[in-house]
Structure formats: C-alpha cells, structure tokens
C-alpha cells in the first residue's frame, strides 16, 4: 500500500515539474520576449520584402511586355508611314511654251562707247557689248551710232568722206593724196607719187571706195570700219 502511494507521489512530482518547465519555456522573460519580438519582426520584414520583390518582378515582366509590344506597334507604324511617304513617279506636266523676250527699246542714255543697253519685254535689261567701238561723240558730246558708209562731202579738196566715226576719213580725186584720216588735232595722208593735178575717178559702194586704173593693171581700195581703215591693192591679171 505504501509502495503504491510513493509511486503515485513521484508521478505527481514529475508532472508538476514538467508543467513548470513547459510553461516556463512558453512564457519567456522580458529579455527573451524582446529577442523573440525582434526575431519575429525580422522574419516578418523578410517575408514582406520577399513578397514585394516577387510582385515587383511580376510587374517588371508585365511592363517589359507592354514596352516590347509598344515598340513593335511603333515600328509597324513607322514602316507603314515610310511606305506611305515613298515618292510616287508622276508624269511631268507639259508646260506652256514661253516666247523669248523681245527688245522693246534701246536705253540711249545708258550708251557706252562699246556697249548698248536694251529694255526687254519681260522687264529685264540686255547689254550688248562689243570689242570695237559702236558709238562716237558728235559735236555736242552725245554718243551716236557709228556708220561706216562713204558718201559725198562738201569738205574742201575732197569728194567723198566718212565722218560718222571716232575718226574722219576723206577721199580725194587726186592721186598724190588719195585719203586723209583725222582724229582731233591729228591727221595722216596717203597717196601716190604723182603730179598734183593727176586726176582719178573713184567709185563708191557702201563702205568701200575704189580707185581703178590708178596703177598699171591694178586698183586701190579703201574700206572704212569701226576702228580702222583697210587698204587693198587688187591686181587685175598676173604678169
């Protein structure tokens, strides 16, 4: 009987000790409680970060997909726009034939010794420039057109002349002084060595004067031009 009682007491003591040990570990001290709280917070924080990173990863994948889709759509749009903007070969329209502008009038006040100026029908001004003089100054100092024709003259001692030039050329009917050229105060005469009263009969055609039979079987010609006088000796036949 006593033996059973002792066994029962031992079991009860072991149960009480086990109770205190179990609940002592279940309800820790303040220090252990703080450590437990920190550990729990860190675990919760790590879990939250893990969830956040997972959500962020999913979001990035979704937005990357949208970006790729947008770029593809934009690329397709650009290709479509480029195709639409390609030049199209069109036939050149036939233009109307434009007439060449015509000279309306000469601008006399703009004349130069070797140049003329014209007003054209389209409003432009055309300049005509020559290497030789085309104008001479008259007694009033105005520029006039050069004229090379030889005509009869009243100049004493001469029968023909050309005076509408920068120099004056006079022709006589005397063999010893066929031609005289003057420019201002300067003059030069040319002729054959013959008696003063030796007469010749010149003929004129345009700007050429001829002295036939002035030499045996030959003639002399003078031609007036804008800047010079040409002399030619023409043989009638070979000897």
d(CA 167, CA 130): 18
Averaged pLDDT score across all residues of the chain: 77
The answer to whether residues 179 and 190 touch, using CB atoms and an 8 Å cutoff, is yes
Q: What percent of the chain has pLDDT over 90?
A: 44
Which helix (H) or strand (E) element contains residue 166?
Answer: none
198 and 171 part of one domain: yes
198 and 127 part of one domain: no
168 and 219 part of one domain: yes
Lowest-confidence range among 40-54, 73-87, 118-132? 40-54
d(CA 185, CA 179): 17
126 and 190 part of one domain: no
Asked if the model's pLDDT at residue 199 lies above 80, the reply is yes
126 and 169 part of one domain: no
Whether 225 is covered by a domain: the verdict is yes
Q: Tens digits of per-residue pLDDT, 162-186?
A: 999 999 999 999 888 899 999 989 9
pTM over 0.75: no
Whether 229 is covered by a domain: the verdict is yes
Asked if the model's pLDDT at residue 41 lies above 50, the reply is no
217 and 187 part of one domain: yes
Determine the pLDDT at residue 91. Answer: 81
Q: How confident is the model at residue 237 (pLDDT cuts 50, 70, 90)?
A: confident
Determine the pLDDT at residue 92. Answer: 81
d(CA 144, CA 134): 8
183: which strand partners?
Answer: 186
Higher-scoring residue by pLDDT: 215, 148: 148
117 and 186 part of one domain: no
Place of tokens 């079987």: 217
Q: How confident is the model at residue 79 (pLDDT cuts 50, 70, 90)?
A: low
Whether 139 is covered by a domain: the verdict is no
Domain span at residue 158 reads 151-234
Whether 168 is covered by a domain: the verdict is yes
Lowest-confidence range among 1-10, 50-59, 91-100, 133-142? 50-59
Determine the pLDDT at residue 12. Answer: 64
164 and 220 part of one domain: yes
Whether 228 is covered by a domain: the verdict is yes
159 and 128 part of one domain: no
218 and 167 part of one domain: yes
Asked if the model's pLDDT at residue 24 lies above 90, the reply is no
Whether 38 is covered by a domain: the verdict is no
Going by C-beta distance under 8 Å and a sequence separation of 6 or more, which residues neighbour residue 195? 175, 176
Give the chain's domain count: 2
Please compute the mean of the pLDDT values over residues 198-219 and round it to a whole number.
88
161 and 212 part of one domain: yes
174 and 204 part of one domain: yes
Whether 221 is covered by a domain: the verdict is yes
The answer to whether residues 169 and 224 touch, using CB atoms and an 8 Å cutoff, is yes
What secondary structure letter does DSSP report for 97?
P
Determine the pLDDT at residue 62. Answer: 52
């Amino acid at each position: 009987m006593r033996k059973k009682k002792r066994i029962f007491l031992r079991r009860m003591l072991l149960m009480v000790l086990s109770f205190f040990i179990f609940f002592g570990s279940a309800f820790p001290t303040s220090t252990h409680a703080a450590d437990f709280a920190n550990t729990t917070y860190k675990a919760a924080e790590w879990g939250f970060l893990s969830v956040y990173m997972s959500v962020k990863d999913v979001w990035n994948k979704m937005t990357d997909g949208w970006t790729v889709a947008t770029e593809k759509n934009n690329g397709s749009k650009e290709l479509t726009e480029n195709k639409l903007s390609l030049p199209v070969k069109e036939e050149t329209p036939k233009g109307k034939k434009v007439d060449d502008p015509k000279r309306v009038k000469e601008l006399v006040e703009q004349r130069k010794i070797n140049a003329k100026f014209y007003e054209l029908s389209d409003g432009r001004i055309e300049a005509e420039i020559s290497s030789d003089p085309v104008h001479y100054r008259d007694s009033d100092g105005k520029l006039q057109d050069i004229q090379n024709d030889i005509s009869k003259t009243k100049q004493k001692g001469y029968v023909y002349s050309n005076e509408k030039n920068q120099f004056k050329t006079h022709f006589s009917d005397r063999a010893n002084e066929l031609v005289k050229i003057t420019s201002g105060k300067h003059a030069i005469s040319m002729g054959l060595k013959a008696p003063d009263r030796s007469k010749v009969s010149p003929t004129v055609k345009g700007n050429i004067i001829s002295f036939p039979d002035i030499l045996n079987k030959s003639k002399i010609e003078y031609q007036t031009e804008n800047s010079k006088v040409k002399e030619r000796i023409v043989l009638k036949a070979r000897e």
